[in-house]
Amino acid sequence: MSLRSPLSRARGLGSAKQGVHHFWVQRVSAVALIPLALWFAFSVAVLATGATDYFAVRHWVSAPSVAVVLVLFIGTALYHSMLGVQVVIEDYVGSEGKKLAALLLSKFAHAAVAAAGIFAVLKVALA
Amino acid sequence: MSTKSPAGSRPLSPFMLGQYYRFQWTSLLSFAHRISGIGLSLGTFLLAGWLVALAGGPQWYAAYSAHLTAWYGQVLLFGWSWALMYHLCNGIRHLFWDIGRGFELKTAERTGYAAVVVSLALTAAAWAVACFA
C-alpha cells in the first residue's frame, strides 16, 4: 500500500498532454477553412449571377462535388465556430454556473445546427 | 480550477478599455477578429437555415429567400461576407504569429493594414461577380 496521496500520484504521472488540444484543433480547422470559405463565398457569388430560384439552387447543391464540399464547409465552420464561441464564453462569463450553462447551450446548438445543415444538403443531393 | 465565482470581486476582461488602455490600431483589429468571429457564428447558423429551407420545399425556400433579398437581408449578407473575408485574412496573420513570425511592431501594423485592404478587395470581388458578371 502506498502512502502517497492521489494528488501526488497524479502529479507524478506528468502532464496529460492534452493542454494544447483546443489550440491545435482550432488551428487545423482554421487552415481547412481558408480554401473552403473562399470556395463557398465565390461559388455563391457565381450562383447569384444566374437564377437563384428553388430549382436552380437545388440543382447546384445536388452536384456531388458541391454537396461534398458544402458538407465539409458546414462541418468545419461550425466546429471552428464552436471552439471560438467557447473561448469567448470562458473569457467573458464570470460565474461558474452561467459559464457552464452557456458552454452547454453553445455546444448543443452547434451540434444541432451542424446535423440539420448536413442532413439538408444530403436530403437535396440524394433526392 | 476554482469552483467559487470570481464575479464581483475581480474585473472581467474588457475593463481596461478607455481608462487604462491607449487606443491602438492593432488592438482594434484584434477586437474586430473576435467580433467578426461571433458574427460569422450567427451567419453560419443562418446558412444552415437556408439549406434546411431548401430541403424543406419550395414554400420554405421562397419564405427564406424573401428575407435574403430584402434590404436588411442584403445588408446582413454584405456584412457577413466582409466579416468572413476579414476573419480569414486576419486569421492568416494569427497563423503566422503561431509559428513565431510577424511580431515586430512595424510588421504587425503593416500586416494589419494588409488584412483590412485584402478583405475589402475580396469582398468587393465577390459582390462584383454576383452583381455584374
ipTM of model = 0.87
The DSSP letter of residue A51 is: -
Give residues with Cβ within 8 angstroms of B133, minimum separation 6: A45, A46, A49
**Is there a contact between A54 and B62 (Cβ–Cβ < 8 Å)?**
yes
Provide mean pLDDT across the span A94-100. 93
Provide mean pLDDT across the span A111-120. 98
Q: In the structure grid, which three cell numbers stand for residue A45, read together?
A: 457569388
Res. A47: pLDDT tops 50: yes
- Cα-Cα-Cα-Cα dihedral of A68, A42, B115, B32, to 10°? -70
**A72, A87, A96: which to substitute to probe chain B, counting the most B Cβ within 10 Å?**
A96
Q: Which residue has the cell 475593463?
A: B15
Output the average pLDDT for chain B. Answer: 90
Q: Output the pLDDT for position A24.
A: 95
Q: Output the pLDDT for position B20.
A: 75
Q: Between chains, do A57 and B85 touch, taking CB under 8 Å as contact?
A: no
Q: Between chains, do A81 and B47 touch, taking CB under 8 Å as contact?
A: no
Banded pLDDT at B4 (limits 50, 70, 90): low
Q: How many CB pairs under 8 A join A and B?
A: 110
The partner residue sitting opposite B44, judged by closest CB among A38, A49, A81, is A81
- Biggest alpha carbon distance in chain B? 58
The pTM of this model reads 0.88
Q: Output the pLDDT for position B12.
A: 66
Q: Between chains, do B48 and A113 touch, taking CB under 8 Å as contact?
A: yes
Q: Which residue has the cell 458552454?
A: A103
Q: Output the pLDDT for position A6.
A: 75
Residues across chain B? 133
Whole-number Cα distances in Å, A69 to A12, A20, A35, A78, A92: 46, 28, 10, 14, 34
Q: In the structure grid, which three cell numbers stand for residue A107, read together?
A: 455546444
